[in-house]
């Protein structure tokens, strides 16, 4: 049996432009019927005419036939300019959204940190949010209590732990969210560019913690960042995306960084 934590197979994601939801009832039924019979969705073809017959494409291809595997304990940097498909990829792996085609196979439990305050309830205190996030991950109250002091200490929010998080600064949000993500029990950790909100010292602290997780706890980490120094210091493998396509998947991180820098120019 393979030691893959994540398998991404021919993943594509299409978005309908200018509409909320799928479209007309007729299109919904068409799509449901196609999925039921294992056929291609007639409304998920790039360049398809909308049902009103205006003759314009109403689909945007955010991910285009992406495939890769991630082994347990790997730390992989995901590079690409804005709009490359990085966050869409993470949302599919996190099961926040679903692919148009292809699939993701997860062999371990995932915690994702995709944006500031994601998964938090603004009216709840920091303490309540820690227990809520732990419960969502399937942890018992006793397990969360054992981790509680370490979470609060790492986030440096002791003074505000019983304050509603709606009153937290963006930096406090990130510190607490990251601390919850790395201390609660999960095998796969997805980190988006949210660490850019924190100060430099906290970013260094986060990088050191992620290195500890991979080296000592064999956690799998996927890391999106525009800060190439963070990718360089943490990752031993990098994937470069461009316009929804996987352009490069390499164990030579410097090669991926050069490709990323080239894409910015």
- Please report the pLDDT score of residue 215 as a whole number: 81
Residue 164 burial class via C-beta count within 10 angstroms: exposed 0-12, middle 13-18, buried 19 and up: middle
- Among 94, 99, 138, which Cα is nearest to 6's? 94
Cβ-contact 171, 198 below 8 angstroms? yes
Token duo for residue 192: 């988006």
Residue ranges of the chain with per-residue pLDDT less than 70: 1-2, 17-28, 31-32, 35-57, 115-118, 194-198
Separation of alpha carbons 215 and 22, rounded Å: 44
CATH 3.40.50.300 domain extents, the chain: 75-264
**Domain 75-264 falls in which CATH fold?**
Rossmann fold (3.40.50)
- Render pLDDT for 156-185 as a digit per residue (tens, 0 to 9): 999 999 999 999 988 888 888 888 888 877
Separation of alpha carbons 93 and 97, rounded Å: 8
Cα distances (angstroms) measured from residue 265 to each of 85, 234, 262 = 18, 25, 5
Separation of alpha carbons 157 and 126, rounded Å: 8
């Amino acid at each position: 049996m393979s030691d893959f934590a994540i398998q991404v197979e021919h993943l594509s994601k299409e978005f309908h432009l200018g509409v909320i939801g799928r479209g007309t009832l007729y299109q919904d039924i068409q799509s449901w019927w196609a999925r039921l019979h294992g056929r291609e969705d007639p409304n998920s073809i790039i360049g398809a005419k909308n049902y009103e017959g205006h003759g314009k494409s109403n689909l945007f291809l955010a991910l285009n036939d992406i495939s890769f595997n991630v082994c347990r304990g790997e730390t992989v940097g995901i590079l690409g300019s804005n709009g490359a498909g990085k966050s869409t990829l993470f949302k599919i792996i996190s099961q926040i959204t679903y692919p148009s085609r292809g699939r993701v196979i997860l062999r371990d439990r995932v915690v994702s940190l995709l944006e500031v305050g994601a998964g938090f309830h603004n009216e709840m205190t920091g303490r309540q949010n820690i227990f809520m996030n732990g419960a969502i991950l399937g942890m018992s109250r006793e397990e969360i209590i054992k981790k509680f002091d370490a979470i609060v200490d790492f986030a440096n929010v002791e003074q505000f732990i019983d304050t509603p998080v709606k009153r937290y600064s963006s930096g406090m949000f990130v510190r607490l969210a990251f601390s919850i993500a790395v201390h609660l029990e999960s095998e796969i950790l997805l980190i988006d560019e949210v660490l850019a909100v924190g100060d430099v010292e906290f970013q260094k602290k986060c990088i050191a913690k992620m290195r500890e997780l991979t080296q000592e706890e064999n956690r799998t980490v996927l890391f999106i960042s525009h800060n190439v120094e963070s990718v360089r210091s943490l990752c031993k493998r990098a994937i470069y995306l461009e316009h929804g396509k996987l352009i490069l998947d390499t164990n030579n991180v410097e090669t991926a960084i050069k490709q990323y820098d080239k894409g910015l120019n």
